[in-house]
């Protein structure tokens, strides 16, 4: 069974702490994504990566960075957590390409982060 | 830029009722369109998709038809079940881009 695994389902951190959210996929997908999900705002793209060591900013990259040292792993980093980063964070992966069989995202179960 | 607009929820229905969740989009070119579903406590999973105009995607009794003339991709089901209670997201992927653009989601609540 194909899988995207996020390391932590629930985290509670304090303002100013450095936070790492880890995501691993076992499908050999080129693309990996980090979204945040907030009520009334849907899913907003933070960063994505289409290859090892490559990254692209999404719609809301401010306050975040990412790391992709291996194809299967994509990490989201909050350098100095703030209360407005309290949210559900969703990792996803997909195949690279333009064909009809591409585009489907496979999601992890999410990491709910609370910043106090 | 590309965008997706969904009807606001929650949509509250009784079991066996007919469901429609509206989705319209704005995009240049010829995007692929998707419906994703998020059950409580889980991540999103693909429900159905359509890759060109007039295509109909279907899965688990749900259907949606890609209407280019009205830029719509409305989700329908003839008879909903309590187990269909979830949040439904409409999304598009445009040609030349790897990322998906999502709507804000519509919560469906089905009561027995």
Portion of chain B with pLDDT greater than 90, in percent: 79
Put simply, whether A110 touches B (Cβ < 8 Å) is yes
Q: Write the CB contacts of A2 (distance below 8 Å, at least 6 apart in sequence).
A: A25, A26, A27, A106
B16 class by beta-carbon count within 10 Å (0-12 exposed, 13-18 middle, 19+ buried): exposed
pLDDT confidence bin for B4, thresholds 50/70/90 = very high
**Cα radius of gyration (chain A):** 14
What is residue B75's predicted lDDT score, i.e. its pLDDT? 98
pLDDT confidence bin for B61, thresholds 50/70/90 = very high
pLDDT above 90 (res A116): yes
- How far apart (Å, rounded) are the C-alpha atoms in residues B37 and A31? 21
The DSSP bridge pattern shows strands A65-70 and A73-78 to be: antiparallel
What is residue A21's predicted lDDT score, i.e. its pLDDT? 97
Q: What is the mean pLDDT of residues A57-61?
A: 94
What is residue A39's predicted lDDT score, i.e. its pLDDT? 87
pLDDT confidence bin for A101, thresholds 50/70/90 = low
* Encoded tokens for A102: 């591409």
- How far apart (Å, rounded) are the C-alpha atoms in residues B87 and B67? 23
CA atoms within 13 A on the CB side of A108: 30
Q: Nearest 10 degrees: CA dihedral of A24, A28, A30, A33?
A: -30
| B102–A98 CB contact, under 8 Å | no
Residue of B nearest to A50 (CA): B98
pLDDT above 80 (res A19): yes
Taking all residues of chain B, what is their mean pLDDT, rounded to a whole number? Answer: 93
Contact residues, chain B, for A7 at CB < 8 Å: none
């Amino acid at each position: 069974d194909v899988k995207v695994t996020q390391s932590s389902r629930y985290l509670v951190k304090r303002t100013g702490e450095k936070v790492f959210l880890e995501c691993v996929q076992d499908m050999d997908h080129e693309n990996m994504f980090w979204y945040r999900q907030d009520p009334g705002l849907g899913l907003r793209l933070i960063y994505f990566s289409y290859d090892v060591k490559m990254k692209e900013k999404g719609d809301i990259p401010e306050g975040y960075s990412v790391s992709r040292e291996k194809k299967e792993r994509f990490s989201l980093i909050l350098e100095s957590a703030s209360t407005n980063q309290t949210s559900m964070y969703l990792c996803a992966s997909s195949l690279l390409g333009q064909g009809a069989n591409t585009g489907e995202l496979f999601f992890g179960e999410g990491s709910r982060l609370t910043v106090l | 830029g590309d965008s997706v607009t969904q009807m606001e929820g929650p949509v509250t229905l009784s079991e066996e009722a007919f469901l429609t969740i509206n989705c319209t989009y704005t995009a240049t070119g010829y995007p692929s369109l998707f419906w994703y579903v998020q059950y409580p406590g889980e991540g999103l999973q693909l429900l159905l998709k359509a890759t060109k105009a007039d295509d109909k995607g279907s899965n688990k009794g749900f259907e949606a038809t890609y209407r280019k003339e009205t830029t719509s991709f409305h989700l329908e089901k003839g008879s909903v079940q309590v187990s269909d209670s979830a949040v439904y997201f409409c999304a598009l992927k445009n040609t030349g881009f790897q990322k998906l653009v999502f709507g804000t989601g519509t919560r469906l609540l089905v009561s027995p």
